[in-house]
Structure 1
Amino acid sequence: VAMPEAVKMPEKFNAVDGAPEEALGWKSIFTQHELDTLISTALKENLDMKSGIQRVLIAGANLRLSKAALLPTLRASVSGGLDQFGKYTMNGVGNYDTNFSENINVHQKIPSPTPDYFAGFRSSWEIDIWGKLSKRKEAAYHRYLSSTRGLKWYQTQLTCQVASLYYELIALDKRLKILKENIKLQNKGLEVVEAQMTGGRATALAVSQFKAQRTATQGKQFEIRQAITRVENQLNLLLGRYPKEIHRDTSAINLPLPKQVYAGLPSAIILNRPDVQQAEEELKAAKADVSAARKAFFPTLTLDAYAGYNAFKLPLLFSPGSLAAGFLGGLTAPILNRASLKNANLVANATQLTAFYQYQQSLINGY
């Protein structure tokens, strides 16, 4: 399937200076001790983060499995069986004739039914003559990289979410402080108006208006407290713990903001985003899957070998005369299962197009 043309990225961001900006870590940006502690705790204890680490481990295990598929397998084997050959079968006639031979001793006579005992090693090796297994390993490698990029992207998002909620808490604290000061002023104003009404210089309507304004301010105060509880719960959820009070430094709201922020060049900034890199690795993995699906139509060369003890009498199994070894090479090609291989190829191509569109979407989102 031909890949569609990619959307060209703009040369620079809209109305933003394109001068490059040095990459900074979150510790150099968020310098408050309380926020530093919260972010470190979230990166360590967040449950989604722990799940992401396990996904990286799974991807690494899949990569090792795909590498192992390129190597021969060796396994120990102990088996026993029993065969009953008919009079008109090749083995049946051969065994019957062999038992009458003068060249064999009593231990070499073949019983009927015929037991078959084996103890030794068996090996099998699929030769990757077309590169099918190599492409599967390549796909697993890119998916491993994709999982690491995805984990890095979530770390970035988690850091931003914790910082955003932390500063939202500080802003709510500042609003709550202002409301408390307003309530104090309104209480003093209400006392003055009530004194004026007692002296006949103000009406009961003025007193009611002051009380209504104070009640409205008190209502906003309760709303702010509810908002603080909600944000603290969200922050505790990111920290992977049950709700508890969040310690914060309210003086952080007075820190100066940067006078100018350089966005950098789109090609340098966006392509370094972990989410874009994750989508890129998924696209590479899908491309390798398409190649492996195409090569699945080609014949497969398999080599099988065994070595060990093989006898038809159990007491003679481990005698020197029971040592045996064998080697077999086979070339097989799919015939009746080509329909399933065609569907697998269609799925791989559709997955590749999906990964391409997701990569384009990640570029646009990043811009």
Structure 2
Amino acid sequence: MQKNIIYKSLAATMVAAAFTACSVPGVVQKAENKNTPGSYTSTTVTDTTSTATVKWKEYFTDPNLQELINTALTNNQELNITLQEIEIAKSEVRARKGEYLPFVGVGAGADVTKASRYTTQGALERNIDIVDGKENPEPLQNYGASLRADWEIDVWGKLHNAKRAAVSRYLASVEGKNFMVTNLVAEIANSYYELLALDNQLQLVNQNIQIQTNALEIVKLQKESARVTELAVKRFQAQVLNTQSLQYEIKQKIVEAENRINFLVGRFPQPVKRSTDAFATLMPNIVKSGIPSQLLANRPDIKQAEMELAASKLDIKVAKARFYPSLSISGGLGYQAFNPSYLIKPQSIIYTLAGELAAPLINRNAIKAAYISANAKQVQAAYNYEQKILNAYIEVANQMSKIDNLQNSYSLKAQEVDALTQSINISNDLFKSARADYMEVLMTQRDALESKFDLIETKMQQMNAMVNIYRALGGGWN
């Protein structure tokens, strides 16, 4: 008999499902394109070694920089906020998992009721004896204790798919954290190298102030001997003042660079420990790009987009399952009596068992809207995934080209600095022998200073390119 009831229920479920499935809105999902070029250049590359697999402690060997990164990974507020978002996503997985398990609860209660004698209930209580021919107690007390369970049978996988979507979003949040770590490491390294460059520019300015001050004293002596006019003295003096002013501009930039690092590290403004002496001799690391398809496994932002895409596909299944009937079972078992001493008697046992089959039939606009919205979000997620891949490829290609061009540029600028440095001595000698105008001396000194500034700037750009290619390849989070 019970088997027949079960079979009839299942048959009714299938009939209702067939009826409702006919009217599920038709939408088109987008298949993501994972194809990438074979290499970052026009030549064929077969070396699959990628710098992205190098740990950041091995990539950045400066102990001061390592200390800053270590502190930031512990204290950075934005990173800690993201870690809490991961905990939220983990709790969402636990919540979704609980939805397809039975909900079991226990309860106990007591109440008292005084029914009017001139009502149906009161008349029945007056004329029916409950125990040993005794009249019902008045007012009538009621005590009970029960165990109750409710369970939605996940016929269409709606609840399981919702849990799997939550797991994918949890994994996406972890990859989001990794991507934040990658960017945090790169930002600290870039700011650190900028700070070293500013220190070297400040040293260069101080050296030039001394050189220009000595030149000013020489011009004053020449003016006393009537070899030059007061105009030459004023022009040399103006150049000294201009360079001194530049000194304070650089000092302000140093303060801002230090505080930018302090913010990333999660501490209040303080001096940043560093060594500036070796900046001119720093050499960028040799970078191995591997092949573009490795970006899909190495870049945290691409893996995050991939997890979000997987979740969006599962959301479609969840939304589609809402068109089908849902089957739920509920039951309870307990004791109930008007006297606590009767609760242990078998006659006080109560139980319920019920099954419910429900399917949306009319006014399903909310379900249709959720289903259409889930499909649109899946298309969005697919485009976002493709965009992340394209962006990663372009970032790597740009940085690789930048590394090559900066290397050539640095070599030429170094030669320019040597030539202009020699021209300073030549112009000074010519000026002393009255074979050169003082303006030639001033212009030569200014050009030499600018070229040295450019050389330091190019060195900083080289180091930044080394950092950015590491980030672009997906390194820094491990």
Q: Same fold (TM over 0.5)?
A: yes
Aligned twin of 1:366: 392
Equivalence for 1:318: 343
- Is the CA contact (8 Å cut-off) linking 1:138 and 1:288 kept in structure 2? yes
Q: Does the 8 Å CA contact 2:128/2:135 hold for their aligned counterparts?
A: no
SS in 2 for 1:329: strand
Look up the match of 2:37: 10
The CA deviation string for residues 175-228 of structure 1, in whole angstroms up to 9 with x for no partner, is: 111111000101111111111111211111111111111111112111111111
Query: In the alignment, which of 59, 73, 77 is matched to residue 103 of structure 2?
Result: 73
Q: Is 1:303–1:328's contact at 8 Å kept on the other side of the alignment?
A: yes
Contact between 1:17 and 1:262, CA under 8 Å: does it hold in 2? no
Give the distance between the partners of 1:322 and 1:336, measured in 2 at CA.
Answer: 43
In the alignment, structure 2 segments of 5+ residues that lack a partner are: 1-26, 394-478
Q: Which residue identity does 2:49 align to in structure 1?
A: E
The DSSP-based 3-state class of the residue aligned with 1:297 is coil
1:97/1:271 Cα in 2 relative to 1: closer, same or farther (>3 Å)?
same
After TM superposition, the structure 1 stretch with the greater mean CA deviation from structure 2, 182-191 or 350-359, is 350-359
Q: Is the 8 A contact 1:16 1:263 kept in 2?
A: no
CA separation of 1:202 and 1:225: change in aligned 2, threshold 3 A: same
* Residues 305 and 83 (structure 1), Cα distance of their counterparts in 2 relative to 1, 3 Å cut: farther
* Code of the aligned partner of 2:79: M
Q: Shift of the alpha carbon at 1:120?
A: 2.1
Tell me the CA shift for residue 157 of structure 1.
0.6
CA distance in 1, matches of 2:67, 2:135: 80
Which residue of 122, 126, 150 corresponds with 1:124? 150
Match of 1:272 in 2: 298
SS in 1 for 2:323: coil
Aligned length: 361
CA distance in 1, matches of 2:354, 2:182: 54
Once the two structures are superposed, residues 31-88 of structure 1 have per-residue CA deviations (whole angstroms, 9 ceiling, x without a partner) of 111000000001110001101111111111111111111211111212356789999x
Structure 2 CA distance for partners of 1:133 and 1:115, relative to 1, 3 Å: farther
One-letter amino acid of the counterpart of residue 315, structure 2: D
Q: Does 2:62 correspond to 1:32?
A: yes
> What residue identity is the alignment partner of 2:253?
A
Contact 2:147 2:334 in 1 (8 A): yes
Change (3 A) 1:147 1:233: same
Task: Show CA shifts across 1:270-320 (max 9, x none).
Answer: 442000000000000011011001001111111111122223x25456342
* Cα pair distance change 1:4/1:315, threshold 3 Å: closer
User: After superposition, where does 1:268-307 map in structure 2 within 5 Å?
Assistant: 268-307=294-333
1:138 to 128, 142, 164: 164
- For the 8 Å contact 2:28–2:375, the answer to whether it is kept is no
Task: Name the amino acid aligned to 1:341.
Answer: I
2:268 match: secondary structure: coil
Structure 1 partner of 2:369: 343
Q: Counterparts in 2 of 1:222-301, with a 5 A limit?
A: 222-253=248-279, 254-258=281-285, 260-301=286-327
1:20 aligns with 48
Are residues 242 and 103 of structure 1, via their aligned partners in 2, closer, same or farther at CA, if it must alter by over 3 Å? closer
Identify which range, 97-106 or 159-168, moves more after superposition.
97-106
Equivalence map 1:154-193=2 (5 Å): 154-193=180-219
Conserved in 2, the CA contact under 8 Å of 1:174 and 1:250? Answer: yes
Secondary structure (helix, strand or coil) at the match of 1:310 reads strand
Q: Distance in 1 between matches of 2:102 and 2:175?
A: 32
The structure that is helix-richer by fraction is 2
- Between the aligned partners of 2:190 and 2:42, the Cα distance in structure 1 is 25
Instruction: Summarize the Cα distance change of 1:296–1:224 in structure 2 as closer, same or farther, 3 Å threshold.
Output: same
| Deviation string, structure 1 residues 82-132 (Cα, Å, up to 9, x no partner) | 789999x9xx57x855864578535684878x7654322211111111100
Answering whether residue 228 of structure 2 is matched by residue 197 of structure 1, we say no
Using the TM superposition, name which of 161-170 and 205-214 deviates more.
205-214
Please state how far the C-alpha of 1:365 moved relative to its aligned partner: 1.1
Cα distance in structure 1, aligned partners of 2:170 and 2:238:
63
Q: Distance in 2 between matches of 1:181 and 1:107?
A: 114
Contact 2:296/2:303, CA 8 A, preserved across alignment: no
Which letter maps to 1:36? Q
1:14, CA displacement in angstroms? 2.8
Match for 2:232 among 206, 230, 236? 206
In 2, Cα distance between the equivalents of 1:256 and 1:103?
97
2:128–2:136 contact (8 Å) kept in structure 1 = no
Report the alpha carbon displacement of residue 326 of structure 1 after superposing the two structures with TM. Answer: 2.2
Q: What amino acid sits opposite 1:226 in the alignment?
A: Q
Question: Does the 8 Å contact 1:16/1:262 carry over to 2?
Answer: no
Identity of aligned residues (%): 35
Q: CA contact under 8 A between 2:30 and 2:378: conserved in structure 1?
A: no
Distance 2:130 2:112 in 1: 25
After TM superposition, the score normalised by the length of structure 2 is 0.70
Any idea what SS the aligned residue of 2:288 has? coil
Paired with 1:84 and 1:300, the residues of 2 have a C-alpha distance of 41
Structure 1, unmatched stretches of 5+, are: none
Q: Does 1:56 align with 2:86?
A: yes
Contact 2:212 2:236 in 1 (8 A): yes
Distance (Å, rounded) in 1 between the aligned partners of 2:372 and 2:384: 18
Gap change, CA 1:15 and 1:273, over 3 Å in 2: same
Q: Which amino acid aligns with 2:90?
A: G
